[in-house]
Amino acid sequence: MSVVYQCLVVEDEPLAQQVLEKYIREHPCLELAGICGDAQEAQQFLAKQPVPLIFLDINLPRRSGISFLKGLYHPPHIIFTTAYPEYAVQGFELDAVDYLLKPFSYERFLKAVNKLLEKAGPTPAQPSSIFVKAGKKVYRVNLEDILYLEAVDDYVNVITPASQYLVHDTLKSMLEQLPASQFVRVHKSYIISKDHIVFLEGNYVRVGTKDIPVGLSYRDGLQQLTGAKKGR
């Protein structure tokens, strides 16, 4: 059964509140516990109802989000939201899960939540699944089911034996969400799963029933992942 994270939005801008509320309600592992317009209101809320996750704006009235976070005795997981990129370094120094720069898309929001699930899970370095948005739906995809990912224009096609998920994202961004011990980029257009490699031959690797080209600059990474040695 999936863990559901109750979360609090601390944000003073009505439009940003609406966007976060919409995104949270669309995600199957998140549940909106409340919305607060400033740090004082958030502190009062947490005294009555602690939550494991806060979406926290940095530029709040009267007291900044960073000052508010530093004042929490046992802070929950934090995903910062702000329109000011200069706060990013300070945010990560406070061990934030991620830093969302406004305005952000649902895909970028989803990436931040996937980071949370990796960090908070029983084995953070080896998540068992990721969430992807394909069309208007958000799908939970088990990592063990993924055969490969293919770049298609401005999208990535996530291929499993039973389904395909066309995601508006880049291969680079998708690779950051996948465990390096299990997935490797073998071409400018492909990421493959080690678990589904059938064989390697020349400049191709068979994954499932598909022959995927291996780019020259990606061969070393594939050989390190599989333990295969260069032929003489």
Q: Which domain holds residue 201?
A: 142-226
Backbone angles phi, psi at 147, to 5 degrees: -85, -55
The residues, any chain, with a CB within 8 Å of residue 104's CB and separated by 6 or more, are 81
- The structure tokens listed for 232 are 């003489």
Residue 88 belongs to a domain with what CATH number? Answer: 3.40.50.2300
Domain boundary (90, 120, 150) is at 120
Cα separation values, 35 from 75, 144, 205, Å: 17, 36, 50
Dihedral angle computed from the Cα positions of residues 57, 23, 101 and 76, in that order, rounded to the nearest 10 degrees = 50
Both 153 and 110 in a single domain? no
Cα of first residue to Cα of last residue in the chain, in angstroms, is 50
Residue 15 and residue 104 in one domain: yes
Do residues 6 and 51 make contact, with C-beta atoms less than 8 angstroms apart?
yes
Report yes or no on 58 lying in a domain.
Answer: yes
Q: Are residues 82 and 31 in the same domain?
A: yes
Domain count across the chain = 2
Q: Write the pLDDT tens digit of every residue in 168-211.
A: 999 988 988 888 778 889 999 999 999 999 998 889 999 999 99
User: Could you read off the pLDDT of 50-98 as tens digits, one per residue?
Assistant: 899 999 999 899 899 989 998 888 889 999 998 877 766 666 677 889 9
Residue 32, Cα to own-chain centre: how many angstroms? 19
Whether residue 105 lies inside any domain: the answer is: yes
Do 86 and 152 share a domain, yes or no? no
Q: Do residues 82 and 159 both lie within one domain?
A: no
The residues with which 34 forms a beta bridge, in sequence order, are 8
Strand partners, 82: 101
105 and 170 together in one domain: no
Are 220 and 151 in a shared domain? yes
Ranges of beta strands (E only) in 21-71 are: 30-36, 53-57
Its pTM stands at: 0.61
